[in-house]
């Protein structure tokens, strides 16, 4: 009978361990669910995704305005009728403005530079701050 008592005791012990294990697992699962609700993991993930989206949008806007300024500057450099060596081009997406600064040798080149900027920057206001330099004095 002693062997039978050992088996019964072992079975009882095993049943108790399994019951405790199942209770612990159940508590762990409920704990994870509760933590997820309290920590608002999905809400935080959504906020992080929104922040990333905004950052990407801002970078895209910066790239776009720099590309626009570069496009205008490149077109001016290729234009044989305009000495663009002293022209600086800036673009601002927020105010939708392209600004030309620096100097050109004469009024015709000033007007040609402005016309090029207007043609390239559809939907932008062009602010022509180019100065006509005195003869032999084209500087920025």
* d(C-alpha 50, C-alpha 36), whole Å: 20
Return the sign of the alpha-carbon dihedral for residues 76, 81, 85, 91. Answer: negative
Whether the full predicted model's pTM is greater than 0.85, yes or no, is no
Is residue 98 within 8 A of residue 90, CB to CB? The reply is yes
* Per-residue pLDDT, 56: 75
Per-residue pLDDT tens over the stretch 72-128: 999 999 999 999 999 999 999 999 999 999 999 999 999 999 999 999 999 999 999
* d(C-alpha 22, C-alpha 2), whole Å: 30
Q: Spell out the domain ranges in the chain.
A: 1-39, 40-140
pLDDT at 6 over 60: no
Q: What does DSSP assign to residue 26?
A: H
pLDDT at 138 over 60: no
Between 79 and 45, where is the model more confident? 79
Per-residue pLDDT tens over the stretch 20-30: 555 555 555 56
* d(C-alpha 140, C-alpha 138), whole Å: 7
pLDDT confidence tier of residue 41, bands split at 50, 70 and 90:
low
């Amino acid at each position: 009978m002693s062997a039978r008592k050992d088996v019964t005791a072992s079975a009882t012990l095993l049943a108790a361990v399994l019951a405790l294990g199942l209770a612990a697992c159940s508590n762990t699962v409920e704990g994870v669910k509760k933590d997820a609700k309290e920590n608002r993991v999905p809400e935080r993930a959504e906020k992080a995704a929104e922040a990333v989206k905004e950052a990407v949008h801002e970078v895209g806007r910066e790239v776009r305005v720099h590309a626009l300024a570069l496009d205008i500057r490149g077109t001016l450099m290729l234009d044989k009728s305009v000495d663009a060596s002293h022209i600086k081009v800036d673009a601002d997406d927020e105010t939708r403005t392209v600004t030309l600064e620096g100097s050109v040798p004469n009024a015709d080149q000033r007007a040609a530079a402005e016309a090029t900027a207007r043609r390239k920057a559809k939907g932008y206001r062009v602010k022509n701050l180019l100065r006509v330099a005195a003869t032999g004095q084209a500087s920025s």
